[in-house]
Each structure stands twice: as C-alpha cells, then as structure tokens.
Amino acid sequence: MSTRAAQFQATVRRREPLTDHLVRLVLDDLDGFASTGVPDEWVGLVVPGQFQSRYYTVRDFSGGELTLDVVVHDVGLVTEWAMRDCVGDTVTITEPKSSFEPPADASWLLLVGDLTAMPAIARIVETRPDLPTTVLAEVPDDLADYLPAGPDVTWLSPPSHGQSALAEVVEGLDWPPGEGYFWMAGESAQMRAIRKHLMRVVGLPTSHYDVMGYWRATAGRQPRAVDPGPLWRAGKAAGKSDEQIWAEYDAAREASDG
Ligand SMILES: Cc1cc2nc3c(=O)[nH]c(=O)nc-3n(C[C@H](O)[C@H](O)[C@H](O)COP(=O)(O)OP(=O)(O)OC[C@H]3O[C@@H](n4cnc5c(N)ncnc54)[C@H](O)[C@@H]3O)c2cc1C
C-alpha cells in the first residue's frame, strides 16, 4: 500500500544567487509543514506547470520559512525555472524524509559530496559540532563561506572532463581510527561504485554509512527517481542481506532509466 506523502503549497518569497551555480530560494505560506529535525532531510518540489517532482534538501526551516539551495545546471525542470525570477511563484512541497543516522558509537564524521550535497553537509556540520568532522567537497565555485566553521574541509575542483572524481577520492582515503559515520551524496554512478567499495574493500557495516545518489548524469530530463524506503523494508521483511537489497535498488534505478 503506497502511502502518498502529504503535500503543501508554498510561495517563493526570496531568490538569492549565492554563486554562479547555486541559487537560494526562501519559501513561506507553508501551513502545517513540519521539519523532521534530521540535517539531511529532503522534500519533493513541484514547480509551476510541471507534475514531476525533484528532491531538494531543507537547508533551513525556521520562522515559517523554508530555505532550499538549488544547483543551476544546463537543462532540467527545476533548474530552468530557478534560473528565472521565480519570486511570487506557488510551488508544491512534499513532507520531508531523511536518512542521516550516525550510530551512537560514532566518534567522527566523514562527509563527501558534490554541489548538490552541500546544503545537507552544511546542516550536518551545523547540527553535529560535537563530532570531529572531515569534509571532502567537489564543487565548481568558491564556497569557502558556505560551510559553518569547525570541520576540516578539502575543496576539490571537478575534473575538466565533467565526470566526478569522488569515487577515486574515496578509494584513496585515509580512514580515521575507531568507529565513525560516512555520509555521501552526488552523481548516482559514482555512488554505486563507492557503495561497493565500502562494502567489499573497507568492510564498513551499513549502519556506519549512508551513500545516496542525488542525481544521474543522463542526456535530457531525468527519469523518475526510485525511493529506496519501500525496497529496504520489503527486503528486510524477506530476510535479505543489505548487499542484496542495495543490488536490487541499483537494478531498479537502472531499470527506471527505461
Ligand atoms: C535526497 C535528495 C536531496 C537533494 N538535494 C538537493 C539540493 O539541496 N540541491 C540541489 O540542487 N539538488 C539536490 N538534489 C538533486 C536534484 O534533485 C537533482 O539534481 C535533480 O535532477 C534536479 O532536477 P532538474 O529538474 O533541475 O533536472 P532534471 O530534469 O532532473 O535533469 C535534467 C538533466 O540535467 C542533469 N542534471 C540533473 N541534476 C544535475 C546536477 N546537479 N548537475 C549537473 N547535471 C544535472 C541530468 O543528468 C539530466 O541530463 C537532491 C536529490 C536527492 C535525491
């Protein structure tokens, strides 16, 4: 039984270009919307004239205002809309979901991602100052002021050939000693490679990492996103291993390519 996520209308109150590739949108009039309080929480966003949603991280929700930071790239439903002056537009937002869940014994955080992951990384750093945190960020712009002070940050420039190098970066990592939590988000093909590396080479238990494909490098507009939640629950109920469930999830995502 699919439980349809609650939906909320919202109004774009402010639009602020933060860098050449990142636009901040502040929405309000969100009657009844509530944050989960989890720093990587995301909402579905449906822009005027469209019916397909795209996921965006809640960079902040306070005083009745919801802040989303939108990556501006070449073509796409949301990016083309966000490039224009969308102040005053009404959008639809779905109730938030989240996945950041460090185990109680985590003594460090390792946060890795591209530009789409930065809103979540910034909120995680803000929310968990208690844990020593290392950030590896592959971004095209100068984002030195984007992250709160505290973590040890390495800024990486995306390779000139346009493909991310994050998989290589993670494969060459010097892991901190002791138990910790690895959180990562970015382009899906990279994330699949990294999940396999974490499971098969590093041998990290799935309770100690969260690796999410946030977007997929395809030509033209993206196919529908696949929600891992139902697959995970059904897999667990059927007694499947984490690796089996992730393999099925990756297969479902490849299948949704059509
Ligand atoms: C849980 C979650 C949280 C997310 N949080 C954020 C967030 O806070 N901010 C944010 O900007 N994005 C975030 N994303 C990613 C965002 O949902 C996707 O990038 C989405 O595809 C953008 O929609 P679009 O309509 O602009 O482009 P689409 O119509 O989906 O895609 C059009 C084309 O653009 C390409 N494309 C899509 N995204 C990118 C990109 N980022 N860079 C380069 N090319 C791209 C696709 O390959 C496709 O060819 C998140 C995704 C998830 C799953």
Q: Does residue 158 line the site of ligand 1, with CB under 6 A? A: no
Side-chain-side CA neighbours of residue 244 (13 Å): 9
Q: 127: Cβ below 6 Å to ligand 1?
A: no
229 lines ligand 1 (CB under 6 A): no
Domain-by-domain residue ranges, the chain? 7-94, 109-257
- Residues 181-239 have pLDDT tens digits of 999 999 988 888 898 899 888 999 889 999 999 998 876 555 545 555 677 778 878 88
pLDDT, position 210: 94
pTM, two decimal places: 0.89
pLDDT at residue 243 is higher than 80: no
Any ligand 1 atom below 6 A from CB of 54: yes
Which residues pair with residue 207 across a beta bridge? none
Q: Is 221 in the pocket of ligand 1 (CB under 6 A)?
A: yes
pLDDT > 90: percent of the chain: 67
Q: How many CB atoms lie within 10 A of CB 178?
A: 9
pLDDT at residue number 199: 85
Nearest to 135 by CA among 153, 115, 157: 153
Rounded-to-integer distance, Cα 176 and Cα 221, Å:
39
Structure tokens at 99: 């996945």
Q: Give the atom of ligand 1 at the shortest distance from the alpha carbon of 77.
A: 25
Of 80, 9, 224, nearest in space to 70 by CA: 80
Residue of 43, 73, 215 best suited for mutating to test ligand 1, as the one with most atoms within 8 Å of CB: 215
What would the mean pLDDT of 148-176 be, rounded to a whole number? 90
CA of 215 to the centre of ligand 1 (A): 5
Which distant-in-sequence residues (6+ apart) come within 8 Å of 234 by Cβ? none
Residues 52-98: tens digit of each pLDDT: 899 999 999 999 999 999 999 988 999 999 999 999 999 999 999 99
- 7-94 under CATH 1.10.1060.10, yes or no: no
Query: Which of 108-117, 151-160, 214-223 holds the top average pLDDT?
Result: 108-117
- Under CATH, what is the fold of the domain 109-257? Rossmann fold (3.40.50)
Please give the number of the atom of ligand 1 that sits closest to the Cα of 79.
26
pLDDT given for residue 231 in this prediction: 73
- Residue 4 pLDDT greater than 70, yes or no: no
Q: pLDDT class for 253, splitting at 50, 70, 90? A: low
Contact between 131 and 108 under an 8 Å Cβ cutoff? The reply is: yes
Tokens, residue 29? 């009039």
Sequential DSSP letters for 89-145: -EEEEEPPB------TT---EEEEEEGGGHHHHHHHHHH-TTS-EEEEEE-SS--TT
* Cβ–ligand 1 contact at 191 (below 6 Å): no
**Residue 175 to residue 173: CA distance in whole angstroms:** 6
From the CA of 205, how far away is ligand 1's center (Å)? 28
User: Which residues fall within 8 angstroms of residue 247, CB to CB, at 6 or more apart?
Assistant: none
**Predicted local confidence at residue 224, as pLDDT:** 47
Closest ligand 1 atom to the C-alpha of 213? 53
Q: Residue 213 Cα, ligand 1 centroid: separation in angstroms?
A: 10
57 lines ligand 1 (CB under 6 A): yes
